[in-house]
């Protein structure tokens, strides 16, 4: 763990350079490789006649932005949830928030013919909030407050509920098979830049609120009575954090469907490097989350060309070993 300011600053610099590398490779690699010169040219001096320029400007650029935003959002949501529930296994994917948002998005897309993410995102918020409410109430155990194992089980049961509903819709609505599968599998491809842009202000606002709450988040890690004694309105802070989680997870799902485990892995990585102070933890998780997502998406394009592995599958396969490791040590951490 990096403790001195100098070490943390160099750590930050390192993470930022990783992010830059991931961003560039996300723009460069793929079915049609683009050279670095070509990339710079396509951004500076756009020529619609060139295939490479067209690919970068119309497809990869939007895809890179989506991956960046989704990765950062899910990672921050993961940090907030782990602090809020004091549960190392919490994340928007495992606790069913993503699944709730996904199911409502699927309903919006199939039954009400909503298509653009800026319309779907509101439906996603309702879904995320519903799931969060269900899991919160199911996760409590008599006298002992929120128990980690019980919360995880509640999350999984709620996920199963929403996923089986989505699958049911899929069978009723076979002509929308491709579109529903997109949401279930999770993907950052096929989005146009214009469709994503309206979501960014909202997303930025949620990020800002999360960063402003750093101090309160540090206090929430303490015992409830200590926190109150230090003058924090625990209920208000929890509610606000919950809202931020719902906005972040809902936006991510409206953009990219079900993408699991980013919200679980990244906070643990960031905590391992930068410690538990949220003033460092939150921004670093955002950077690492974006990097991980970009890297997963880039690798997903290259494994079995010309087909792509859905990026949600990639993150799940990356995240499972860590989850299993945490699961084996749950007694020690809780």
Binding region for other proteins (CB under 8 A): 89, 93-94, 134, 137-138, 140-142, 149-150, 152-154, 156-157, 160-161, 164-165, 167-168, 170-172, 174, 177-178, 181, 184-185, 260-261, 304, 307, 309-310, 312-313, 316-317, 319-320, 323-324, 326-328, 330-331
Instruction: State in angstroms the smallest separation of the CB of 323 from other proteins.
Output: 4
The number of CA neighbours under 13 Å toward the Cβ of 137 is 6
| Least gap, CB of 213 to other proteins (angstroms) | 28
3-state secondary structure of 154: helix
Q: Which H/E stretch holds residue 224?
A: helix 224-229
Q: Which is nearer to other proteins, 251 or 315 (CB)?
A: 315
| One-character DSSP codes across 226-237 | HHHHTT--HHHH
The least CB distance from residue 316 to other proteins, in Å, is: 3
Nearer to other proteins, 231 or 305 (CB): 305
Minimal distance in Å, beta carbon 310 to other proteins?
6
Closest CA to 159 of 131, 133, 124: 131
- Shortest separation between residue 149's beta carbon and other proteins, angstroms: 5
Q: How far apart, in Å, are the Cα atoms of 324 and each of 242, 272, 316, 317, 330?
A: 26, 17, 12, 11, 10
DSSP single-letter state for residue 112: S
Closest CA to 88 of 152, 6, 170: 152
Do 87 and 122 meet the contact criterion of CB atoms below 8 Å apart? Answer: no
Q: Which residue, among 302, 292, 283, has the nearest Cα to 261 in the 3D structure?
A: 292
Tell me if 71 sits within 8 A of 287, measured CB to CB.
no
Residue 188 Cβ, how far from other proteins at the closest point, in Å? 14
Taking the complex as a whole, the smallest distance from the CB of residue 106 to other proteins amounts, in Å, to: 14
Q: Which is nearer to other proteins, 161 or 193 (CB)?
A: 161
Nearest to 252 by CA among 125, 136, 62: 125
Nearest CB to other proteins, comparing residues 148 and 250: 148
Residue 140 vs 218, nearer CB to other proteins: 140
Given the complex with other proteins, which of 232 and 253 has the nearer CB atom?
A: 253
27 or 256, CB closer to other proteins? Answer: 256
Please report how close the Cβ of residue 265 comes to other proteins at its closest, in angstroms: 12
Which is closer to other proteins, CB of 42 or CB of 159? Answer: 159
- For residues 54 and 153, which CB has a smaller minimum distance to other proteins in the complex? 153
Give how far the C-alpha of residue 100 lies from the chain's centroid of Cα atoms, to the nearest Å: 14
Give min distance, CB of 263 to other proteins, in A. 13
Alpha-carbon distances, residue 288 vs 16, 152, 285, 295, 298 (angstroms): 8, 24, 5, 10, 15
* Contacting residues for 187 by C-beta, under 8 A, at least 6 apart: 256, 257, 308, 310, 311, 312
Structure tokens belonging to residue 307: 């087909």
**H/E stretch holding 322:** helix 311-328
């Amino acid at each position: 763990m990096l403790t001195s300011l100098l070490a943390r600053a160099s750590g930050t610099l390192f993470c930022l350079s990783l992010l830059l590398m991931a961003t560039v490779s996300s723009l460069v690699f793929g079915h049609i490789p683009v050279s670095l010169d070509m990339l710079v040219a396509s951004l500076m001096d756009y020529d619609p006649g060139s295939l490479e320029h067209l690919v970068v400007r119309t497809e990869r650029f939007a895809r890179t932005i989506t991956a960046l935003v989704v990765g950062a959002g899910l990672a921050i949501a993961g940090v907030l949830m782990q602090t809020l529930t004091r549960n190392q296994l919490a994340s928007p994917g495992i606790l069913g928030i993503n699944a709730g948002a996904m199911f409502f998005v699927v309903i919006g897309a199939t039954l009400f013919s909503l298509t653009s993410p800026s319309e779907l995102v509101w439906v996603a918020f309702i879904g995320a909030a519903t799931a969060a409410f269900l899991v919160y109430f199911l996760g409590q155990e008599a006298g002992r407050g929120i128990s980690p194992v019980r919360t995880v089980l509640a999350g999984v049961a709620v996920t199963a509920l929403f996923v089986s509903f989505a699958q049911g819709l899929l069978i009723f609505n076979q002509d929308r098979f491709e579109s529903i599968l997109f949401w279930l599998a999770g993907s950052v491809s096929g989005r146009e830049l214009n469709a994503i842009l309206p979501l960014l202000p909202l997303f930025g606002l949620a990020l800002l609120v999360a960063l402003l709450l750093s101090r309160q988040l540090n206090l929430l890690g303490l015992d409830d009575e200590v926190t109150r004694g230090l003058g924090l309105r625990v209920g208000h802070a929890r509610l606000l954090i919950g809202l931020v989680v719902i906005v972040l997870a809902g936006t991510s799902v409206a953009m990219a469907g079900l993408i699991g485990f980013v919200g679980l892995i990244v906070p643990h990585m960031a905590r391992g490097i930068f410690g538990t102070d949220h003033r460092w933890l939150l921004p670093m998780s955002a950077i690492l989350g974006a990097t991980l997502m970009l890297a997963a998406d880039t690798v997903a394009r290259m494994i079995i060309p010309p087909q792509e592995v859905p990026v949600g599958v990639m993150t799940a396969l990356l995240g499972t070993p860590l989850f299993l490791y945490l699961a084996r040590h749950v007694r020690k951490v809780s």
